[in-house]
Amino acid sequence: MKRFLIPLLAVLAFPSAVNAKIYETRLPREQWPKSISSIKNFIGKPKLESIFCSTVEDFKIASFEEKWASLPWIYNPSNGKLYDYDDFLNEINPLNKWRSDGDVFTYKSKIKNNILKILESEKTLKYPDQRYLIDLKAMTYTSYSVDAPEDKTFLRCEKLDFPNGVKINY
């Protein structure tokens, strides 16, 4: 009985010491955080950003709600992971699959040199893969089909605030 209680009491009395020990054993020494604030940043939830890309005319006439209804790009600025907005539930969820008119689309993305690179694939290959390049500094958007890379679409982008009360599910 004592064998069970002593480790349990140690965890309850010193949870940060036990967690730090477990944390340290998972990472090589050179990857250990240098301070407590680094640990907090390491395990904190990412701050997401959203970008609305469209024509100059749409920027002038589209309301905030219309911009969100037009499916802006929601992403994690540190790794490029994509998210999707559910306007009915007012929630943001990881974008794994997206369904439209019976078609299922998947996404791969990353950020490299301030460019958010997105590859969109349709599961049954009914449509060719689509590539999106969003320059996060210049706030420009380029998209093209891998079947016709010479036919490119160019748009302007702007950052978009999140809707009030939105719940983010990481």
| Tens of pLDDT, residue by residue, the chain (170 residues) | 444 445 444 445 555 544 544 444 555 555 555 555 445 445 678 899 999 999 988 888 999 999 998 889 999 999 999 999 998 999 999 998 998 888 999 999 999 999 999 999 998 888 999 999 999 999 999 999 999 999 999 999 999 999 999 999 98
Tell me the C-alpha distance between 83 and 104, whole Å.
16
Provide CB contacts within 8 A for 28, sequence distance 6+: none
Contact 128, 146 (CB under 8 A): yes
- pTM over cut 0.85: no
Which three-class secondary structure state does DSSP give residue 158?
strand
Instruction: Report the C-alpha gap between 25 and 129 in whole angstroms.
Output: 42
